Structure 1
């Protein structure tokens, strides 16, 4: 009886022990599965992160490459734009130069025609004065240049003589400023005639009487240096000495 009881007790202990062992094994297995699942999930997440990182790097490289491409295209467009702007400026300048040239040619034509009208009226001095205002080097039309030269030949020498007599009359009437103006115009139009030294002489005395001693000296030195045979040579030196002693 006692023996049976002990056997029974051992059997209960064995069953309990076995049950506990089974429970431990089950719990251990479950824990291992759970840990494995956690590890797998972590590995999956890590793999996803690696994929995301790789994708990000790929996208970043693509974006950088695209950015460089866009920069290159922008620089090329800027260069083209600058070239177009330069070309546009050149075209504007050409148009402006062409318009200015046409305007100058128009003004030249009108000025020469005005001078011709004065000549046709018999106003030699007025014609010559208008011609003096024209820059002959800017005349590109041969017919217009021929007309200009013809008028110059017909009027300059005659007008120079008329201005000389006008200046001399003003000098005699003590209108010294008017005399200087007319005599200078005479020389400007034609300074190779017989009265050229007369002009300088009357200019010198007119300037002297006005009080413009430097201009008087300039006219006197012209007589002394360029007209040594002039009848005014001695008077010019005498007046120059008087001015220098002032």
Structure 2
């Protein structure tokens, strides 16, 4: 009886220890499996974070590249605008220079034509040609020559017109004579013959029926030429015919 009881106790003990070992073994296996699952999860989380960081890094790199490209484009556009402005400025300067050269050439041509006319003795034509000369486009020395030519031409043209007018006056061609005298006094109002020109102009106008203009020119003689030998007669004329 006692032997049988002891055997049962040992059997229960073996079963108990075996069950406990199995439980411990199962618990250890479960812990290992859980640890592995945790490691896998951590690895997945780490990989996911790494991938996110990689994407973020790529995004920021692309954004920086876009900003750099935009800056480069802006710089190129600014350079292009500056080049266009410089080109426009150069074209404007070139156009202005060409215009300046054309004006100088034209002024020299007109002056040369006037000089040739003067040398040919055509003083009236010379006066007309000199009107076309834009002296601001001539060289300073040429301007001085042009002024001298203009002065001499007017003196000689005025004298020529006065002589023609006087000849016509003596021929009783009073209307034509008045035209010559008037042109002479307009071209050369300060010559030694200018007072005489006005005197005969007034008489030519009066004798061609234009007394009012005659009085105007005789009055001018009295005012502008106080030392003229015609002064007394001019005043008498004005007193007599002025209305």
TM-score by length of 2: 0.60
Equivalent residues of 2:114, 2:130 under 8 A apart:
no
State the distance in 2 between where 1:77 and 1:204 align.
77
Q: How far apart are 1:55 and its partner, in Å?
A: 2.7
Equivalent residues of 1:160, 1:186 under 8 A apart:
yes
State the distance in 2 between where 1:61 and 1:239 align.
102
- Aligned residue number for residue 113 of structure 1: 116
Q: What root-mean-square deviation, in Å, do the aligned CA atoms of Structure 1 and Structure 2 show?
A: 5.1
What per-residue deviation string (whole Å, max 9, x for no partner) do you get for residues 166-204 of structure 1? 55648x65648x83x533421243223454235445369
- Aligned residue number for residue 235 of structure 2: 233
What per-residue deviation string (whole Å, max 9, x for no partner) do you get for residues 74-130 of structure 1? 43453344334323432332233123312321232133223433x2xxxx5544544
Equivalent residues of 1:164, 1:183 under 8 A apart:
yes
Please list every run of 5 or more consecutive structure 2 residues that lacks an aligned counterpart in the other structure. Answer: 6-10
Q: Indicate yes or no: 2:160 matched with 1:162.
A: yes
Equivalent residues of 2:174, 2:204 under 8 A apart:
no
State the distance in 2 between where 1:151 and 1:84 align.
43
- Aligned residue number for residue 97 of structure 2: 94
Structure 1 pair 92–76 and aligned structure 2 pair: CA distance change class (3 A): same
Q: How far apart are 1:57 and its partner, in Å?
A: 1.7
Equivalent residues of 1:112, 1:148 under 8 A apart:
no
State the distance in 2 between where 1:69 and 1:106 align.
55
Please list every run of 5 or more consecutive structure 1 residues that lacks an aligned counterpart in the other structure. Answer: none
Q: Which SS does the other structure have where 2:190 is aligned?
A: coil
Structure 1 pair 151–223 and aligned structure 2 pair: CA distance change class (3 A): closer
Q: Which SS does the other structure have where 1:232 is aligned?
A: helix
2:50 to 44, 47, 52: 47
Q: Indicate yes or no: 2:180 matched with 1:182.
A: yes
State the distance in 1 between where 2:211 and 2:31 align.
134
Equivalent residues of 2:195, 2:225 under 8 A apart:
yes
Larger Cα Rg: Structure 1 or Structure 2?
Answer: 2
Structure 1 pair 87–41 and aligned structure 2 pair: CA distance change class (3 A): same
- Aligned residue number for residue 222 of structure 1: 220
What per-residue deviation string (whole Å, max 9, x for no partner) do you get for residues 46-66 of structure 1? 221122212322332343244
State the distance in 1 between where 2:109 and 2:203 align.
41
